Amino acid sequence: MGFGNIGWFQILVVLLIVLLVFGTKKIRTLGGDLGGAIRDFRKGMSEEEEAKAAEDGAPSGSESEGGEATAADAKVPAGEKKGDT
């Protein structure tokens, strides 16, 4: 007597009753609202992940004492130290 024995016919009957009660226009509106909510949720999650990645990838080793990278630091190629010739 559990819910595991629900067949396709029973699901079809329930969907038909829902269609008759709410109507196609209301169901279409609910579907659009649900799709918009899912889309906004995914967008918010991806923006949060991008912000987290930007925080983790912030350079910290080549900054001067003032917290800003100097022009001389920017011109040094990767793998070389400042002052090496």
pLDDT, tens digit, 9 for 90 and up, residues 2-54: 567 888 999 999 999 999 998 988 989 999 999 999 999 999 999 988 888 88
pTM for this model (two decimals): 0.45
Give me the residue label for tokens 């100097």: 70
Residue among 57, 76, 58 at smallest CA distance from 68: 58
Cβ burial, residue 27 (10 Å; 0-12/13-18/19+) = middle
Closest-CA residue to 85 (of 77, 44, 29): 77
